[in-house]
Chain A
Amino acid sequence: MTFGAIRGLALASVTGIAGLLGSAAHAVEIEYWQYFYDARVEAMNQLIEKFQAANPDITVKMSHFPYADYRTKVASAIPAGEGPDVVQLFYGWLNDYKEAQLIQPLPADTFPADKIDSEFFPMVSAMRDGDQYWALPTAVRSLALFYNERLFDEAGIESPPETLDELIEVARKLTKKDGAGNLTQVGITAGMTAQDHHWWREGLVRQFGGDPYKDDYQTVNYDTEAGLAALNYYTSLFMGDDAVTATTFMDEPQAAFKAGRAGMHIDGSFRIGSLADIRGLKWGVTELPAGPDGTRSNYSSYWVNAITTKAEGEKYDAAVKFMEYLTSDEAMQLWLEVVGELPAKPSVGMTDKNANDPVFGPFIRGLEYAHTTKFADESGQRQVLVEMVERMQLQGVSAEESLATAAKAEQKLLDDYYGK
């Protein structure tokens, strides 16, 4: 037997005994499930450790699954009375989980809805239904404008653009073409398939004076003057002779930015980690540029934790305590440091240190004016916007017509989903 094996055995027996002792002291064990992502698992391990130290009578067992299997596992386990007491889910799935009776609302005495409204960033209210909250995030994500500092220096640009007009001006200076007029470096990346559909929906449409949806995101409302202005602005980046980008440039927007062939790039806070590892790429971040009248707007998405219908009795009480800890300031700060995702409360996010952080700051400041789209079918709704642009690019359809078609197609998706 190798030393490692002996040590493993010893450790196992020690934890076994600890487990026995624990149960003697009437310990409750609850299960927590999330999908597998290294940093998230690591952060959750640290949180569980701290939570258990503060609550010795509760143990939390974490299981994680590959993202691809996650939904099916959760769906089959909970109705069978197995699986998690506290579960992590994407905010866009809330409705499905609610309707399938996989989760239960958070108790109103510990999580009063009005208190949450005042403590969390505004977009978290998407998790509220009537007087109850169904789920709460520890961390949130938002969009910001990444820029390549080397290319900025080279083009003699001193500061990143503050407005949409400046964005085009700056992008123009950063664009390079070969003799035949083919783009070899783009001013800004573009592509509805990446994050641009969020930027267009919650950013541009609102900045041009519109409101992309009505009736709690059940009615499409961007087939308007504002929507058209937003679409024209967006497509002017890559259509026409003075295009500053191409939607197909280097296959993927983030690839072009990573390769140093794009001056600017709009992406989510989750991109920070992968950009930090790129050698030779010097980049900065700034808030999304303001609209013609100075309006700023952003998009935020998040993963939430919720208590499942499986948790009852003392497990339910333990799950409530765990949820309280997961939404505490301490947990949010830890999550920011370990995972790089933004705190869901201004009390943590808007501290001087966090809000002025050169990297996280622009994202966190963006949260104050961020909106969360309540998607019925995120990929389907993204596809609608992808095709809106493709019709204009590939089939020469006018902006007005393409916008109207898109609005109709998305409305149909929403109607099907909400059973209208």
Chain B
Amino acid sequence: MYRNLTIKQKQIVWAWAFLAIPVVFYSVIRFYPTGNAILISFQNWNLLGDRTWAGLDNYIKLFNDPVFWKVFANTFIYLLLGTPISLVISFVIAYHLDQLRFMHGFLRMLYFLPFMTSAVAMAWVWRWFYQPVPTGLFNNMLANLGIGQIEFLNSTTNALPAVLAPAVWAGLGFQIIIFMAGLRAIPKSYYEAARIDGVGWWTILWEITLPLLKPTIVFIVVFSSIGFLRIFDHVFNMTTNNPGGPLNATKPLVLMIYESAFTKFDMGYAAAQTVVLFLVLLVVSLLQLRILRDK
């Protein structure tokens, strides 16, 4: 039968033969569990007994759960604080690092190091930094200066920024490297032409560097947004005694999913939250791509 095929058809057969592995991989490892998760979100299941049909109950419960809305807001605060702050800081560092020759490699390494460090280890170290006296580094410094104590983690207002800070710091290294690659990719001739015309650095930055960096910025914004929307390990490890606390002040959506699934064993409810997270990620990513795309 294979012999009777035209060359074109044979090519297609071979193409599919090679594609078979990733296709199978994706359907078994990605699409099947995704589909299953969506199915579970319409069911009740405690991991032990049978799954029973729940209809829209899980979604209705979610809609009426004040903790969910608090957590939903937290997730967006992580996004809205984290992405712009990390974008600006990493650009400023990359911009200056790009013009620096002295110890360039060493400094770049220093910025990249946190990215390679285990988030768990880092979160615990920062958790100890934030403790009150006598253990906390920051509060001990404040005490030595005669300044009052700051409650970093045990506060409904300070806790979220305190948890976010190491997450931003950890992500910087990656973003700096991407920005520097983007900066290097801008042809030198544009800058030379600008200088010959006697243009100031601000105009160069605003009219040449940033517009030409747009693809890089789009990539970083989308990537870090997804990262902040999915923040989990920093929060969980810095608040293990009271995950997402105090009073849910730091709880992101992923942590709520984790708790619903693996401490309350309410898989249906967890799956419903996962579907919501999936939709949020989808919408945010599509919006960003659309807004930041070339006009």
Contact = CB atoms under 8 A, between A and B. Distances in A.
B56 to A, nearest CB: 17
Contacts of B6: none
A387 B135 contact: no
Contacts, number: 83
A83 B30 CA distance: 29
Contact of A387 (B47, B153, B247, B264): B247
A395 to B, nearest CB: 7
A197 to B, nearest CB: 11
A99 B265 CA distance: 14
A183 B133 CA distance: 7
Contacts of B47: 71-72, 75
A184 B49 CA distance: 50
B99 interface: no
Interface of B: 46-50, 127-128, 131-135, 143, 146, 148-149, 151, 153-156, 241-242, 245-247, 259, 262-265
B204 to A, nearest CB: 49
Given A96-B48, A261-B134, A251 B154 contact: no
5 contacts: A182-B143, A183-B132, A249-B132, A250-B134, A383-B242
A313 to B, nearest CB: 24
Residue of B46, B50, B155 with most chain A CB atoms under a 10 A cut-off: B46
A5 B264 CA distance: 46
A390 B246 contact: yes
Nearest to A177: B133
Interface string A91-112: 0000011011110000000000
B70 to A, nearest CB: 12
Contacts of B154: 247-248, 393-394
B265 A390 contact: no
A377 B47 CA distance: 14
Contacts of A250: 131, 134-135
Given A100-B49, A249-B132, A250-B131, A71 B156 contact: no
4 tightest CB-CB pairs across the interface, nearest first? A100-B48, A100-B49, A193-B241, A379-B263
A212 interface: no
Nearest to B50: A100
A379 B134 contact: no
Given A96-B46, A182-B143, A377 B134 contact: no
Nearest to A194: B241
A247 B131 CA distance: 11
A234 B13 CA distance: 74
Contacts of B247: 387, 390-391, 394-395
B151 A248 contact: yes
Interface in A76-129: 96-97, 99-102
A137 interface: no
B46 A252 contact: no
Interface string A275-312: 00000000000000000000000000000000000000
Contact of A377 (B49, B128, B156, B264): B264
A243 interface: no
B246 A246 contact: no
Interface string A218-250: 000000000000000000000000000011111
Contacts of B134: 182, 184, 250, 261
Given A379-B259, A386-B242, A394-B247, A246 B48 contact: no
Nearest to B134: A184
Nearest to A102: B48
A156 interface: no
A379 B151 CA distance: 25
Residue of A102, A178, A182, A379 with most chain B CB atoms under a 10 A cut-off: A182
B259 A251 contact: no
Contacts of B127: 251
Contact of B132 (A99, A248, A383): A248
A251 B131 contact: yes
A245 to B, nearest CB: 12
A191 interface: yes
Contacts of B149: 180, 182
Nearest to B131: A251
A394 B155 contact: yes
Nearest to B263: A379
A56 interface: no
Contact of B133 (A71, A178, A194): A178
A180 B156 contact: no
Contacts of B156: 394-395
Contact of A71 (B50, B128, B148, B265): B265
A252 B241 contact: yes
Contacts of A97: 48
Given A71-B265, A178-B133, A386-B242, 4 more contacts: A96-B48, A100-B50, A246-B132, A250-B131
A380 interface: yes
A180 B143 contact: yes
A251 B133 contact: no
A383 B135 CA distance: 26
Interface string A248-288: 11111000000001000000000000000000000000000
Contacts of A390: 245-247
B246 A99 contact: no
Nearest to A253: B241
A68 B47 CA distance: 13
A214 to B, nearest CB: 23
B245 A386 contact: yes
Contacts of A99: 48-49
B1 to A, nearest CB: 41
B128 A251 contact: yes
A346 B245 CA distance: 41
A246 B154 CA distance: 11
A101 B135 CA distance: 49
B207 to A, nearest CB: 49
A11 B114 CA distance: 50
A193 B264 contact: no
B269 to A, nearest CB: 10
Contacts of A96: 46, 48-49, 265
